[in-house]
Amino acid sequence: MSNTDSFIEEVTEEVRRDRLYALMRRYGWIAVLAILLLVGGAAWNEWRKAQAQARAAAFGDAILAALAASDTDGRAAALDAIEAPEPGGAAIRDLLAAATIADTDPAGAAARLLAVADSTGVPPVYRQIATLKAAALPGSGLSAEERRARLAPLAAGNGLLRLLAEEQLALIDIETGARDAALERLAALSMDAEATAALRRRATRVIVALGEEPPVMRGLGDDLPAGR
């Protein structure tokens, strides 16, 4: 390589370096700002998570302290005084408060449960549990038709809540004199593969109490009455 070519390459490299430095001086603050935003965003996210965990822990401690009260009125008052960090926490608090007063004030407990069931922003599972508990609560003050209307959507769903709703609907059928409808529901429950053993036993016992033979559940080579 000639001295001229070497000189040209050195000059070209120097020009490139000068251009790079110029670009860094002109736009380098953007890169610095991007790094600061990334670091700051990560720090903010971690701080927010820590705050949420702290609120959840404080809420749980308050719930446990309220439930430790020796009398029903004290537990109910303590639960009412707890400030929930979010709608799901408020639903849990109200479900526990309703359970606390269910024996002494079933109508009041049912009203609290239905308030949860009708709340917006509450996770669906809490609304469904509240509906089921209110409909199943003795002395709730709800008519058979009101309970039936509340339970029907649950019975049309999926999972264990569907089966528990069907059980309550069967009991409402018995209460209102619809014996055949009750037997049909109970027979279906006793044979449902998704039903727990306890639920099948309950359905079978009610069928027997109504003077009928429970259906035979066939499976695994055994012919046994469901729930026995």
Which pLDDT tens digit goes with each residue over 156-205?
988 789 999 999 999 999 999 999 999 999 999 999 989 999 999 999 99
End-to-end CA distance of the chain: give it in Å, rounded: 99
Q: Is residue 75 part of a domain?
A: no
Integer Cα distance of 80 and 69 in angstroms: 13
Higher pLDDT, 18 or 136: 136
| pLDDT for the residue 2 | 56
Token digits for 54?
A: 């702290």
Residue 112 has pLDDT above 90, yes or no: yes
Domain-embedded: residue 202: no
Range of the domain at 41: 1-68
CB atoms within 10 A of CB 66: 21
pLDDT at residue 102, as a whole number: 92
Query: What is the model's pLDDT at position 95?
Result: 93
Residue 36 belongs to a domain: yes
45 belongs to a structural domain: yes
Task: Look up the pTM and report it.
Answer: 0.69
Cβ atoms of 154 and 128 within 8 Å: the answer is yes
Q: Which strand (E) or helix (H) includes residue 100?
A: helix 87-101
Q: Is residue 10 part of a domain?
A: yes
- Judge whether 8 lies within some domain: yes
Into how many domains does the chain fold?
A: 1
CA separation for the pair 38, 53 (Å, rounded)? 23
CA–CA separation, 129 and 161 (whole Å):
8
Contact 83, 48 (CB under 8 A): no
| CA–CA dist 113, 132 (Å, integer) | 9
Between 67 and 147, name the one with better pLDDT.
147
Q: Which residues of 117-147 are buried (b: 16+ CB within 10 A; e: fewer)?
A: bebeebeeebbbbbbbbbbbbeebebeeeeb
Grade residue 135 by pLDDT with cuts at 50, 70 and 90.
very high
Using the predicted structure, report yes or no on whether residue 126 has a pLDDT greater than 90: yes
Residue 17 lies in a domain: yes
Q: How confident is the model at residue 98 (pLDDT cuts 50, 70, 90)?
A: very high
What number is the average pLDDT over the span 2-9? 59
Asked if residue 226 has pLDDT above 80, the reply is no
pLDDT tens-digit series, residues 6-46 = 656 665 676 677 676 776 677 666 767 777 788 888 887 88
Q: Specify if 129 maps to a domain.
A: no
